[in-house]
């Protein structure tokens, strides 16, 4: 897919305030600092469409972008801040789960995990919840340029092994690097293949 246009539309505090759900939508989520903004910018061929390194603990917003006037790209707030209170965490979980469960035009969720780390409990739990909730998702391993060849693949296999403890079918997995633009075309291919609405 060639990116002709990508424009920021709106930040929303609740799923009810999101733009009209009249186009197919693809959402990106992951722990804070996973490289989500960098990957979105790399895919869109833009330097600062998604804002990088937002301050943890700030108001958590759902950001919508319109791409090629055909589909929505959604930048969901990062989860897993160590420094937020229990109440804040619950509020945040509610925001995310309500968005995912209620956003009817959501076609696929891209769950970003850092390729340098072994499978983390918080990510596995979130994936399990998506599976139980019948939400289609793709696992995106980020920052693979920071690893020696083979190491990212090993962590990818570690995810597969963990997920096979619960499921028979594995979600699609993509190795990416925003730095080198690896995997961006593959993500855009998935979006092209599924965005006929
Ligand atoms: P976000 O909080 O998930 O949006 O993460 P950011 O996109 O702000 O990235 C967090 C940090 O990781 C920044 O310092 C980025 O420069 C760095 N980073 C993100 N993606 C990559 C990548 O593909 N390769 C490398 N080497 N660094 C990256």
Q: What is the CATH number of the domain that holds 146?
A: 3.40.50.300
In the chain, the percentage of residues whose pLDDT exceeds 70 is 93
Residue 149 domain flag: yes
- pLDDT category, 173, cuts 50, 70, 90? very high
The CA distance from 128 to 107, in Å, is 18
Atom 15, ligand 1: which residue's CA is nearest? 35
Say what the pLDDT of residue 82 is.
Answer: 65
| Global confidence as pTM | 0.94
Helix (H) or strand (E) holding 141: strand 137-142
Question: Does a structural domain hold residue 43?
Answer: yes
Largest Cα span, the chain? 44
Total domains, the chain: 1
Q: How far does residue 20's CA lie from ligand 1's centre (Å)?
A: 30
Q: CA distances (Å), 8 to each of 27, 72, 194, in order?
A: 14, 10, 22
Residue 45 structure tokens: 């061929």
> Rounded to the nearest 5°, which phi and psi values hold at 14?
-135, 155
- What token pair was written down for 34? 């996973």
Q: Hey, what are 81's tokens? A: 């801040």
33 within ligand 1 shell (Cβ under 6 A): yes
Q: Is 53 in the pocket of ligand 1 (CB under 6 A)?
A: yes
Distance CA 119, CA 163 (A): 10
Q: Establish if 178 belongs to a structural domain.
A: yes
182 close to ligand 1 (CB < 6 Angstrom):
no
Tell me whether residue 36 is in a domain: yes
Closest residue by Cα to residue 72 from 94, 34, 33, 99: 99
Q: What are the tens digits of pLDDT across the range 127-172?
A: 999 999 999 999 999 999 999 988 988 999 999 999 998 888 899 9
Q: Which domain, by its residues, includes 28? A: 6-194
Q: Mean pLDDT over residues 87-102, rounded?
A: 89
Q: What is the model's pLDDT at position 178? A: 98
Ligand 1 in reach of 138 Cβ (< 6 A): no
- Centroid of ligand 1 to alpha carbon of 168 (angstroms): 32
Domain contains 1 = no
**Residue of 60, 115, 175, 178 to mutate, ligand 1, most atoms within 8 A of C-beta:** 178
Phi, psi of 184 (to 5 degrees): -65, -45
Confidence of residue 14 (pLDDT cuts 50, 70, 90): very high
């Amino acid at each position: 897919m060639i990116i002709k246009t990508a424009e920021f539309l709106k930040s929303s505090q609740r799923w009810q305030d999101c733009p009209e759900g009249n186009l197919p939508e693809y959402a990106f989520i992951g722990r804070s600092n996973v490289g989500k903004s960098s990957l979105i910018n790399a895919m869109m061929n833009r330097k600062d469409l998604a804002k990088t390194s937002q301050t943890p603990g700030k108001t958590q917003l759902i950001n919508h972008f319109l791409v090629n006037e055909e589909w929505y790209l959604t930048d969901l707030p990062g989860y897993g801040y160590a420094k937020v209170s229990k109440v804040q965490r619950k509020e945040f979980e509610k925001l995310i789960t309500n968005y995912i469960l209620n956003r009817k035009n959501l076609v696929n969720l891209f769950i970003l995990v850092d390729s340098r780390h072994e499978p983390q409990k918080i990510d596995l739990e979130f994936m399990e919840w998506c599976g139980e909730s019948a939400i289609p998702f793709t696992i995106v391993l980020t920052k693979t340029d920071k690893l020696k060849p083979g190491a990212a693949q090993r962590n990818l296999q570690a995810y597969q092994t963990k997920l096979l403890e619960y499921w028979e079918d594995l979600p699609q997995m993509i190795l990416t690097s925003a730095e080198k633009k690896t995997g961006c075309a593959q993500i855009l291919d998935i979006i092209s293949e599924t965005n006929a609405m």
